[in-house]
Chain A
Amino acid sequence: MAVILLLEPDTILGRTYQATLTKSGHKVSWFRSAGAAISSVDEQLPQLVIVELQLSTHNGVEFLYEFRRYQDLAAIPILVLTNVPPLFKAFSVGIWEQLGVVAYHYKPLTKLTDLTRSVDRILAPVT
């Protein structure tokens, strides 16, 4: 069982993703805003962060840069699950790696089974 931090602004989608990942056996802390998500890591360190880039107020990119400022969070992998199309990802290939993004999923084309498969792959112990 892993602790997953989910940053998703939409209530309905957030509920759906949380329910799916909880069914897969994970403990999911779901936040709608970047500020709340960042503060939460003081209480509990996640093993994986799932983040939407299009947030209100602070956007997901701000969250990623802020998150990566902290030494103790440096090794936590990040999965981007977003409405921002992959064209954007192409613009900044090296930067995503620097930000520790290990997977980029475009929401309209990502089923729940795709998400759980990706999460399992990221969290699988290295042998």
Chain B
Amino acid sequence: MKQIVTTGIVLSRTDFGEADRILTILTPDQGRIRVIAKGVRKIKSKLAGGIELFSVSQITFIQGKSEIYTLVSTRLEQHFGHITTDIERTMFGYEVLKRLNRSVEDNAEREYFTLLSHTLIVLDQLDVPQPAIELWLSAQLLKLAGHSPNLTTDNSGQKLSQEQTYGFDLDTMAFVVKPEGSYDANHIKLIRLAFGLESPLGLRQVKDISKVLPASLQLIKLMNSQFIHS
């Protein structure tokens, strides 16, 4: 039986039997795996001990014949403890883990792990607005799934203009010229950043982001609900 050492972020925990726990973990090299942690629930407090959520840990497990591997040991590498000092961020953090768990396949590429760790790192910093992080995450999930919108030309092939206002066509995934449309050059700029940035930290620099963030986020969420099963 092979013993494997890797890094992982716990996506979910489920109790099993009297004292065991099954963890679903996202790793950079093994994709999404399920491991059984034996005997961890003998600890009286269910919220203490075990493997922390909102953490990156080094995990060692044995890969057996079954789909659920056996956890041998863990070592906490980075704990994003500031997330839980903010209630809204805590809720968002849990929803991010749930969302990733639903969005990825078992053989998820490394990029999903990178995406999740960048999200948690910035969520932990408390000074990037949480909706901005959500915008970036949603854009990146679309990108990874191969569903990026057209951010260069409108649906008739014309270059997107500074002066125009637009609506958005979900079928063609492109902006449509529309007088008094919901989206202008600032919205498009922000959405381009959401798709282009490697980390949501860059959104911290965006001036007056609060003016364009709600509509931009709503649009990206709409795209997600259309194309990503989560």
- A residues sitting closer than 8 Å to B (CB atoms) are 34-36, 38-39, 53-54, 58-63, 65-66, 69-70, 84, 88, 91-92, 95
Contact = CB atoms under 8 A, between A and B. Distances in A.
Given A54-B87, A58-B84, A69 B14 contact: yes
15 contacts: A34-B47, A35-B45, A35-B47, A36-B45, A38-B47, A39-B46, A53-B87, A59-B85, A59-B87, A62-B84, A65-B94, A66-B46, A70-B15, A88-B87, A95-B91
Interface size class of B (residues with CB under 8 A): 10 to 19
Nearest to A99: B91
A39 B45 contact: yes
Contacts, number: 44
B88 interface: yes
Given A58-B47, A61-B87, A69 B13 contact: yes
Closest 4 CB pairs of A and B: A35-B47, A61-B90, A35-B45, A61-B91
A60 B48 CA distance: 15
A35 B87 contact: no
Contacts of A36: 45
Interface of A is mostly: helix
Given A69-B14, A95-B95, 11 more contacts: A35-B48, A36-B45, A38-B46, A60-B87, A61-B90, A61-B91, A62-B84, A63-B47, A66-B47, A91-B88, A92-B91
B44 interface: yes
A59 B90 contact: yes
Contacts of B91: 61, 92, 95
A72 B74 CA distance: 29
Contacts of A61: 87, 90-91, 94
Interface string B66-93: 0000000000000000001101101100
A106 to B, nearest CB: 14
